[in-house]
Amino acid sequence: MPSDKAVVHVIDDDEAVRQSLVFLLGTAGLEVRTYDSATAFLDALPNVVAGCVITDVRMPVVGGLELLRRLRKLKLAVPVIVITGHGDVPLAVEAMKMGAADFLEKPFDDEALLASVRSALNALDRDRKREVERSEIESRLSGLSSREREVLEGLVAGQANKQIAHALGISPRTIEIYRANLMTKMQAASLSDLVRMAMIAGVIGPAAESESGVSPG
């Protein structure tokens, strides 16, 4: 999906519902696109602007659950809000288990819907920022020498300079130089900042992070 201004994509086979949501979301300053079926939305995907989806759970041919399955198969991390009738709550709960961001029962409260949409769009924006940050960190990691990478792995494992030096068979003073170069290349303000970057890039997991602050020297 292109990453222009976020759009709310409304999918419902009921035209009255679509128009009602267009009015509500439009008055809240949100850009809206409507589709009379999930199939129409899926067909438009190559040109769909990133945002969130509001979909009825029960529609002909492709319902809300099947839409979630297809979006997952396409690896599209788009937040989906499911609208459901009272009798369709079990389906909506199943949709949540499949990754839907929220579900609202008809007739839903306007403010509840707007709050759900804003929450979904905020989460999408946070995900985008995390992805940009991850990409930048991975780019910095690719600029490290093999020795700097080894020093990085030692530091984020909680090892002191002397321990890393012993493991690599070089002097602690040389480790200090590698460490300084490493911090500069990674644009890390502190060891904790470096550990955070390593976690974001997948160099270490949460367990390793908990060990990393024990021996900063």
Is the pLDDT confidence value at 43 over 50? yes
Residue 93 has pLDDT above 50, yes or no: yes
> So what's the pLDDT on residue 211?
40
Q: How many CB atoms lie within 10 A of CB 166?
A: 14
Q: What are phi and psi of 145, to 5 degrees?
A: -75, 165
Residue 83: strand, helix, or coil: strand
The DSSP secondary-structure symbol of 34 reads E
Domain ranges of the chain: 7-132, 143-211
- 200 CB burial (10 A radius; 0-12, 13-18, 19+): middle
Q: What is the pLDDT of residue 97?
A: 85
Strand partners, 105: 84
Query: How distant is the alpha carbon of residue 82 from its chain centre?
Result: 19
What is the rounded average pLDDT of the residues 13-42? 93
Contact present, 83 and 106 (Cβ < 8 Å): yes
CATH number of 7-132: 3.40.50.2300
pLDDT digits (tens, 9 = 90+) for 100-145: 889 898 888 999 999 999 999 988 888 788 888 888 999 999 999 9
Name the architecture of domain 143-211.
Answer: Orthogonal Bundle (1.10)
pTM, full prediction: 0.65
What's the rounded mean pLDDT across residues 25-32? 93
Residue 204's pLDDT is what? 62
Distance CA 59, CA 111 (A): 25
Q: Residue 216: its pLDDT value, please?
A: 42
